[in-house]
Structure 1
Amino acid sequence: MGRETRIGAGVAVLAAALTWGSATFAQQQAPAPAQGNAAAPAKPPAAGYTPADARAVLNARLVALKTVLELTPEQEKLWTPVEQAIRDIVKRAIARGERRDDRPPASFLTALDRIASAESARAKDLHLFVEAAKPLVDSLTEAQKRRIPAFLGLTDHPGQPQPSSQIWLFEEEQS
């Protein structure tokens, strides 16, 4: 495997790690879908979920991710930009969620426009995350990269897309 492929795979693994929170939280908050039905959409956080709760969850996720990686002192120096990027992205997701128009769309075109706007904003944030994470991921060992999916219980489904709205960076946008 070439160096570029390993770096790209490492960034993908680290980005995939960010999907863990919303799936876990949704499983805890939402009942399991009935047999034979498609997966239930993520439910908003429980009543009484406060901004302080959201901060605590974000802090816990960052600590968990950093703990799983077992960063060396040299890698620690590369963590700060990644953490800051994540915090900035979550802050923007919260702001988008607060501005979101919850009225039913007037037409399917309005619905498509809302989807396009949300995906565009999330895509921009994901690109910012990838850029911030590249130096750290480049420094990770193969063992560190392997720990992330095992810790998160991720499965590999080649060729299947990962909707950006399922990444925990953006869950506050959905609530």
Structure 2
Amino acid sequence: MLRIVTGTTALFLIASSIANAQGPQAAPASSERLNIADRNNLTDMRIDLTKAALQLTAEQEKLWPPVESAIRARAEDRKARVAKVQETVGRRADESRIEALRNRDPIAFLQRRSEALAQRSADLDKLAEAWQPLYKTLNPEQRQRVAALAIFVLHDMSDVIERRRAMMRADDDED
């Protein structure tokens, strides 16, 4: 079991480093961005790794499709949010930083942010709802694996957030 969790964690590390290259700060045409096929492959890999780490029984397999669908829907919604940010950034690409700050509409920004957070919240609710029936059937070892994966994902997300904050601070210091 330790080998499975270790292997899964290593693969999540690799996959997360690829995903981090697609952060919203980069220019829309950046070569660091993942294309649609790469993003889909990354989602497939994460789903396969999660399922493999769980080692589902035949009965549990029947409860997996809603979980996979919720994971895929959440990934699609994230892609749409990133595309929307890229579109907004693209419209302002010709402006200097000072012009962009002068032309910024804080109310529109707050509304866009609120919509994005509401979508993320709804996606997480759907994901939790999809996981609940399956989670109830997991044995203690499987639950430990889910917990380990969740802790890893949360830790990885906090690292990404901190790197983005540091980049924003660095950008602010340059001005």
Taking structure 1 as the reference length, the TM-score comes to 0.60
Structure 1 stretch 88-97 or stretch 118-127: which is displaced more? 88-97
The yes-or-no answer on 1:125 pairing with 2:123 is yes
The yes-or-no answer on 1:24 pairing with 2:16 is yes
Residues 1:48 and 1:89: Cα distance change in structure 2 (over 3 Å):
closer
Residue of structure 1 in register with 2:50 after alignment: 65
* AA partner of residue 122 (structure 2): K
5 Å-filtered alignment, 1:136-155, equals: 136-150=134-148, 154=152
Cα-Cα RMSD: 3.7
Of all paired residues, the percent bearing the same amino acid is 29
Residues 1:42 and 1:22: Cα distance change in structure 2 (over 3 Å):
farther
Shift of 1:25: 2.0
Question: Which one has a bigger Cα radius of gyration?
Answer: 2
* AA partner of residue 66 (structure 1): K
- Could you tell me which runs of 5 or more consecutive residues in structure 2 were left unpaired when the two chains were aligned: 1-8, 93-99, 162-175
Residues 1:153 and 1:99: Cα distance change in structure 2 (over 3 Å):
closer
Residues 1:118 and 1:28: Cα distance change in structure 2 (over 3 Å):
closer
The structure whose residues are more often helix, as a share, is 2
Aligned partners of 2:21 and 2:34 also within 8 Å: no
Residues 1:43 and 1:150: Cα distance change in structure 2 (over 3 Å):
farther
Higher relative contact order (CA 8 A, sep 6+): 1
5 Å-filtered alignment, 1:24-173, equals: 24-25=16-17, 29=21, 47=32, 49-100=34-85, 101-102=88-89, 103=92, 104=100, 106-150=104-148, 154=152
Taking structure 2 as the reference length, the TM-score comes to 0.60
Residues 1:149 and 1:43: Cα distance change in structure 2 (over 3 Å):
farther
Residues 1:123 and 1:77: Cα distance change in structure 2 (over 3 Å):
same
